Amino acid sequence: MVPNETCVEVEIRDDDVLVRHSADPQGPLIGYSHDEWAAFIAGVKDGEFDLAARVPHL
């Protein structure tokens, strides 16, 4: 993984996808299958995690 100034670092590997908080480069990695990652990205693109659309006062 290459450190950067974002909050999350993602490494897409042959067998899985690893995610960690960039402020803690020695911290834990969370692993996802490619299918899980694809479902997450599809949800992001579809607005599934858009709080403004779900909470009227935002």
Sequential pLDDT tens for the chain (58 residues): 555 566 889 999 999 999 999 888 899 999 999 999 999 999 999 998 887 777 766 5
Residue 13 near residue 20 (C-beta atoms within 8 A)? no
| pLDDT computed for residue 6 by the predictor | 60
The sheet with strand 8-12 has its strands ordered as 8-12, 17-21, 30-32
